[in-house]
Structure 1
Amino acid sequence: MFCTAGPAQFRKRPKKRLAVAMKSAAGARHPSFDVWNASLGAAAAAIGTRGFPDALAAALRLLAPFQMMNGFLYSPDGHAFDLYNDKIVAVRSVIVDHYLAGAYVLDPFYDAVRSDRSQRMIVMRELAPDDFLQTEYHRQHYATTEIVDEIGFVLQLENGFIGVLSLSRTGTASLFATEDLERLRSAAPVVCALAARHWFHVPSLSLDIKNAAPAVRIEHPLLTRRELEIVTLILKGHSNLSLAAVLSLSPNTVKVHRRQVYSKLAISSQAELFRLFLA
């Protein structure tokens, strides 16, 4: 999906603050095996009850602190649904309703689970395109909700549905340190297993799939298939260089296509492009 270095927000932090965060993470006491087992046991015992998300969050906070746990669900045909957003730390209309209305098609996590449905942990800064910070999607979803870093656990659910349960750091919190990611990734197999067991039947029990709106598609009668590919990648946060690499084109060819797209649509900015396709 794009450059392995990740977007600048996830890489460039004030050196002093990053050093303090890393020192704090390195010096933090890891939970003892007994404490971790007890916490994990409590989560397992709560599967199928309203207390499960809190129990799982409590266990995960033993490995790394975070401010928000929430999740979305994706159908095999490309729809998105609410999985778990009971305790979001932002206005629901911003982080849930706007996302489900169509912005989800620009989410790097959505792309990741569409291409690889295996249960695992995914990390936003390892997936996000190189110009992700400059996208309207980032401005409206991340900047507005003040999410500064995010990881997700991929869940295989009933009827081919895939869930992503996310842990986010928000506001002035530091990024997840390398040690945090290592601990969370090591725990991913059991976390995914427990969460998948808890939410496994959500697709058939809780979703009004038959009455769902059509899955979002980025399409326009004036644009060619290649131009629609370019529009999609621009909206997801790929720079011209990244576009060229992904599509095996020269940067100059990408620039020509981009100019043609803007000319055909009578627009001059990515913000206008976003509003045209995903208002």
Structure 2
Amino acid sequence: MVTKAGLTGNHADLWNAGIAKAVWALGEPGFPEALERALRHLVSFEMMNGFAYAANGKAFDLDNDRIVGDRTTIVEHYLAGAYILDPFYDAVRNSPQPTVLVMRRLAPDRFTETEYYRRHYQATGIVDEIGFILKLQHVDAVLSLSRIGAVPVFSKRDIARLESAAPLVRALAEKHWHARFQPQAGEANAAATISHPLLSKRELEIVTLILKGHSTYSIAATLGLSPNTVKVHRRQVYAKLTISSQAELFHLFLSRR
């Protein structure tokens, strides 16, 4: 019986039966849906989906066959380049060990004010997201559970349940998707980057952090600069690019991807 995750009685029985079905489906097309059904006995959510990231930064579709809402925004625009602004993308690439990701713990301090948030989260109605980091043979990946619409964010008990179940979920998911991606898959197209011939390396670092949702003080702390220096760089960037807002900055670098 699962006790650390807060399950007892019938709920534990349903979880155990559901995860057993997922085990039987390993290696088969029905595995993702079986795992999703099992996880719904732990917490409620509207969508499970996933992306993988190669060492060169290229993103791939891991599991997006049951998307809830606008597939163009959630999958196609994301894979075309918007993923480089996703807090989960940074966390997956920077985490040495598999862990459970909670969006509101990772997101920068001005994340909800970004164009990425407005176009990806507000446009699709995603209100909260939790992810399992997967270490596959050639790529790292994240399998996400999202709440969508007029629903509450994941509670502390929800998070605790998923953290308790994470070793089992990761073991099954890593077994199922272990060798799906081959090294050459990331060589056909270059990974998305923030670049511009008019901007210096430091200015591009600041642009990237602005687009990800970092405030002036957060950028300063991240790069080891003073807030005033960050403000000077930001003014210089906007002057060089002849823009005056973050929306224009996003449009310049990402909206056409």
Q: If the length of structure 1 is used for normalisation, what is the TM-score? A: 0.85
For residues 258 and 243 of structure 1, the distance between their equivalents in structure 2, rounded to whole angstroms, comes to 11
Structure 1 equivalent of residue 134 of structure 2: 155
Structure 1 equivalent of residue 3 of structure 2: none
1:142-221 map, 5 Å = 142-159=121-138, 161-204=139-182, 208-211=185-188, 213-221=189-197
**1:31–1:190 Cα change, 3 Å:** farther
> How far 1:172 moved relative to its partner?
0.4
- Cα deviation digits, residues 134-191 of structure 1 (max 9, x gap): 11111111111110000001111122x0111100000101100000000101110110
> How far 1:264 moved relative to its partner?
0.8
Match of 1:78 among 57, 71, 78: 57
> How far 1:269 moved relative to its partner?
0.5
Counterpart AA for 1:38: A
CA contact (8 A) 2:15 2:39 kept: no
**1:28–1:154 Cα change, 3 Å:** closer
CA contact (8 A) 1:103 1:278 kept: yes
> How far 1:54 moved relative to its partner?
1.5
Structure 1 equivalent of residue 103 of structure 2: 124
Structure 2 equivalent of residue 248 of structure 1: 224
> How far 1:93 moved relative to its partner?
0.9
For residues 96 and 240 of structure 1, the distance between their equivalents in structure 2, rounded to whole angstroms, comes to 30
Pair 1:95 & 2:74 matched = yes
% identity of equivalent residues: 59
Structure 1 stretch 213-222 or stretch 94-103: which is displaced more?
A: 213-222
CA contact (8 A) 1:30 1:63 kept: no
Structure 1 equivalent of residue 243 of structure 2: 267
For residues 145 and 72 of structure 2, the distance between their equivalents in structure 1, rounded to whole angstroms, comes to 19
Root-mean-square deviation (CA, aligned residues, Å) is 1.8
Structure 2 equivalent of residue 38 of structure 1: 17
For residues 81 and 138 of structure 1, the distance between their equivalents in structure 2, rounded to whole angstroms, comes to 20
> How far 1:256 moved relative to its partner?
1.0
Counterpart AA for 1:59: A
Structure 2 equivalent of residue 65 of structure 1: 44
CA contact (8 A) 1:117 1:154 kept: no
For residues 87 and 128 of structure 2, the distance between their equivalents in structure 1, rounded to whole angstroms, comes to 13
Structure 1 stretch 51-60 or stretch 167-176: which is displaced more?
A: 51-60
**1:117–1:97 Cα change, 3 Å:** farther
How many positions carry a matched residue from both structures?
Answer: 250
**1:198–1:67 Cα change, 3 Å:** same
Structure 1 stretch 47-56 or stretch 129-138: which is displaced more?
A: 47-56
The runs of 5 or more residues in structure 2 that have no matched partner are: 1-5
For residues 251 and 187 of structure 1, the distance between their equivalents in structure 2, rounded to whole angstroms, comes to 42
The runs of 5 or more residues in structure 1 that have no matched partner are: 1-26
CA contact (8 A) 2:56 2:186 kept: no
CA contact (8 A) 1:117 1:156 kept: no
Counterpart AA for 2:171: A
1:230-249 map, 5 Å = 230-249=206-225
For residues 143 and 209 of structure 1, the distance between their equivalents in structure 2, rounded to whole angstroms, comes to 30
**1:246–1:55 Cα change, 3 Å:** same
CA contact (8 A) 2:54 2:186 kept: no
> How far 1:28 moved relative to its partner?
9.0
